[in-house]
């Protein structure tokens, strides 16, 4: 395993991180002991980076129990800001919520510190100085080692770095954006921005939300596709591209999953890609691609199928900034339009 440095933190992490959403008993593997065996096998294979979140059901509890006796050998990351119930103050990136949420995560993870504490999604309602001030205090107290963001637009990343410098606060060390062959939009602005600021990048969704597992094919029935429960699985543009990538993988003599994950970590600005197995079989498949390296010829072929900096379709979980979510921010009041 060739470990990489996480931005400028000095922390060494594996090029693949173990995502733990599928270890939540409510949405993934219902057997915590089986999830623990998956975690242990990933660690034995050399993966030392584990990513979870407070909003992933009971994932933190499952991870905390599984890491007993092995915590010191793991770079443990979790996240805050997604809603944790109906209370409007149990979400977001305010100081009030962060200082409470971190204690809850520490308890669930059964640890006295978090190596990387990330803001799960931007919180436009909270001043970034308020968020950075609270996170800085957590670093100074020793409860958190490094801080990061997830899904933050490039302009917000720049503002956060500027505020940290001007106010003498700890700066964000990492960003966790979506990235796959199907979703290359971050190559335009986000990745160049994090490079300029020396940030580490932990990408999620390298398998394109399941589109690049090899199981979603035009000629193969799929219950989720038939039910129409997951929009991207019925996006004909994404299916067309997945078919072409599957053919490319066959020509190269590799599994589509290995092509997809190897692509994600081939970008020089990506530190680590999150893999999210639910079962031991899923993990075994992904571990089989740890040593896969894509040649320039294959990368050029991928660029022909999906040009750099472009997205094929829209991610179901993509972050939409207020300017896109709130129509009032895009339209002048009726009276103002009439006067014009």
Q: Does the active-site annotation cover 56?
A: yes
Q: Give the strand pairing for 49-51 and 75-80.
A: parallel
Instruction: Tell me the three state secondary structure of residue 1.
Output: coil
Instruction: Tell me the three state secondary structure of residue 174.
Output: strand
- Between the alpha carbon of residue 220 and those of residues 228, 235, 239, 290, the distances in Å are 15, 15, 11, 27
Please state, in angstroms and rounded to a whole number, the distance separating the CA atoms of residues 303 and 300: 5
Within a 10 A sphere around the Cβ of 231, how many other Cβ atoms?
13
Q: How many CA atoms lie within 13 A of 86 on its CB side?
A: 0
Name the E strands within the chain.
4-5, 12-13, 16-19, 49-51, 75-80, 114-119, 144-150, 174-176, 200-203, 272-275
Q: Which of 175, 128, 125, 109 minimizes the C-alpha distance to 147? A: 175
- DSSP letter, residue 90: S
CA angle, 88 then 85 then 112, to 5° = 100
Catalytic residue among 3, 16, 56, 117: 56
Burial class of residue 188 in the structure, from the number of CB atoms within 10 Å of its CB (0-12 exposed, 13-18 middle, 19+ buried): middle
Instruction: Tell me the three state secondary structure of residue 143.
Output: coil
Please state, in angstroms and rounded to a whole number, the distance separating the CA atoms of residues 188 and 197: 15
CA dihedral 192, 77, 209, 205 (to 10 degrees): 30
What kind and span of H or E run contains 29?
A: none
User: Which residues are part of the catalytic machinery?
Assistant: 56
């Amino acid at each position: 395993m060739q470990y990489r440095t996480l931005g400028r933190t000095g922390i060494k992490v594996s090029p693949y991180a173990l995502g733990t959403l599928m270890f939540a008993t409510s949405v993934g593997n219902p057997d915590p002991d089986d999830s623990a065996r998956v975690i242990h096998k990933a660690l034995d294979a050399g993966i030392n980076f584990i990513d979870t979140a407070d909003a992933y059901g009971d994932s933190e509890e499952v991870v905390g129990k599984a890491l007993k006796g092995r915590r010191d050998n793991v770079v443990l990351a979790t996240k805050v800001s997604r809603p944790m119930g109906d209370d409007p103050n149990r979400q977001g990136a305010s100081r009030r919520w962060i200082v409470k949420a971190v204690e809850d995560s520490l308890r669930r993870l059964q640890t006295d510190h978090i190596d990387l504490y990330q803001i799960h999604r931007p919180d436009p309602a909270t001043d970034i100085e308020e968020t950075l001030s609270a996170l800085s205090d957590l670093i100074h107290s020793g409860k958190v080692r490094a801080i990061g963001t997830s899904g933050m637009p490039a302009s917000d990343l720049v503002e956060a770095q500027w505020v940290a410098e001007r106010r003498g606060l700890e700066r964000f060390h990492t960003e966790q954006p979506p990235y796959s062959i199907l979703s290359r939009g971050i190559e335009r602005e986000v990745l160049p921005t994090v490079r300029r600021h020396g940030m580490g990048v932990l990408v999620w969704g390298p398998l394109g939300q399941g589109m690049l597992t090899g199981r979603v094919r035009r000629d193969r029935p799929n219950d989720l596709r038939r039910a129409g429960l997951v929009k991207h699985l019925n996006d004909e543009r994404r299916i067309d591209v997945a078919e072409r990538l599957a053919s490319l993988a066959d020509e190269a003599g590799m599994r589509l999953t290995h092509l997809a994950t190897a692509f994600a970590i081939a970008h020089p600005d990506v530190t680590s890609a999150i893999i999210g197995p639910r079962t031991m079989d899923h993990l075994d498949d992904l571990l089989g691609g740890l040593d896969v390296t894509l040649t320039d010829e294959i990368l050029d072929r991928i660029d022909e199928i999906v040009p750099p900096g472009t997205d094929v379709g829209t991610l179901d979980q993509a972050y939409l900034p207020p300017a896109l979510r709130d129509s009032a921010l895009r339209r002048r009041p009726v009276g103002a339009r009439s006067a014009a």
